[in-house]
Amino acid sequence: MESFNLQQLTSDMNINWTPVFAATVCGTGALILFWKWRNNQKIQKKILNARRRRDKSLQRAEQAVQQFKIQNPDFESSSIVSLSLSELTGKLQDGSLQPDAVLHAYMEKALEVNKNLNCSTEILMESVEQLTEINTQSKKGLLYGVPISIKDNVGYKGHDSSCGVVGNLDQPAVMDSVVVTVLKKQGAIPFIKTNIPQGLLSYECSNPIYGQTLNPCNLKKTPGGSSGGEGALIRGGGSILGIGTDIGGSIRIPAAFCGICGFKPTSKRLSGQEISSCVKGQKSVLSSIGPLARDVESVALFMQALLCQDMFTLDPNVPPIPFNQKVYESSEPLRIGYYENDGFQQPSPSMARAFRETKALLESAGHTLVPFPPLRLYEVFFEFAFKGVMADGGRTLYSHLKSGPIDSCLRDQAALLRIPGFIKKLLSVVLKPVSPRLSVSLKAGVGVGSIAELWRQHVNIEVLSATHPCTTC
């Protein structure tokens, strides 16, 4: 009797567990789908709010410009935005131009340029309030009354430094970055933030939050990255001076693509405090903060304004070496090292021609051009630069990208970041006979295997820099 009851119970249990299991699977699936839907709704809401903030700031700027025009019937912005920086600073210093007129002139022009190029992430309306502070300053700084643009990732109190990723939205900076603070002390007026590619590490200029920025020289082309919004805005005439960042060409590429001037100082020459990044913490390849402008003289004035005691006091990590005006103005002939081909990437015919023309011009000006062989570029690029940025296997960068939709121009890069390390190693071995460069790239993309390996990489970079000082620039 007992045996019969046990069999009956077992039979009943076998029958009843099937729908329970099915219901559990269905319920779990439904919960996962619901969670994904909810998460997607939150992401879309954050993106929509960011766009609304940008649109609201653009509307407020338009209203401010219209109000200023009503109060000043003789106001003409074109005569102001056509001035060079040296001309503009001269008129501001002698009082023939007032900061409020200059700010509203550039605000009007920036709004016009942005409509065509989509180069702004937000207008900084605090700039109008800053006019009052500037007028009360007893000493006029080198950039007194000059409106400047700043790249999205440069910290400005009360505003996001998104780096083009959703995870950084709704996290406004609690204080100005050091470079912004010093520029304000020099009388400059940050008035607009500019667009960037998602994650910054790209030669494009597009992200799923603010969209794609276009090249003012050709609307079918990119302005370059990652300081693409700066390059587009300055070339379009909407800014006379801007701040960018550069780790592998992010100032130099937009400057070249847009036909303006850009300068990448030696790393740590200017303060990097409160400058956002999607690979924050890696020390193998250091980023730089630098200027973009219409001409070389403007770039030099930017450096002169920042390399002052305020910079050295606010950030003790910056070496207290002021701008050397004597060296800058010197007409002594220079010895300039060059190479026509780095042995790594073949220059295009137009680039090779531009190089030869530049070399000829420098020699005709009395400078000595000295050829030198490229450094161990293959090793430097893959083992030090690429492997350094991807030291964690790209996990930090990918964690930022996956916080929201991934921009179309980065999907291939994101797909590679998703591949597990052991598969990358396997593909590296398989592809080595067919495509050696792709093989080495995949291997370097795995990152470093241990802390000891990371330390060895840092030592090797230090040795290379000490042996070839030009690699630090």
Query: What positions carry a catalytic annotation?
Result: 151, 226, 250
Contact 165, 200 (CB under 8 A): no
Which residues, 6 or more positions from 267, have their beta carbon under 8 angstroms from its beta carbon?
286, 287, 288, 472
CA distances from 299 to 149, 305, 356 (A): 13, 10, 24
Distance CA 225, CA 218 (A): 16
The number of helices, as runs of H, and strands, as runs of E, in the chain is 19, 10
Q: What is the chain's percent helix, strand, coil content, to nearest 5?
A: 55, 10, 35
Distance CA 433, CA 363 (A): 44
Exposed (0-12), middle (13-18) or buried (19+): which is 32, by Cβ within 10 Å? exposed
Q: Is the dihedral of CA 323, 283, 252, 53 positive or negative?
A: negative
Distance CA 243, CA 180 (A): 9
Contact 461, 453 (CB under 8 A): no
Which residues, 6 or more positions from 190, have their beta carbon under 8 angstroms from its beta carbon?
124, 127, 147, 148, 149, 150, 156, 180, 183, 184
* Relative orientation angle of helices 228-236 and 99-117, to the nearest 10 degrees: 110
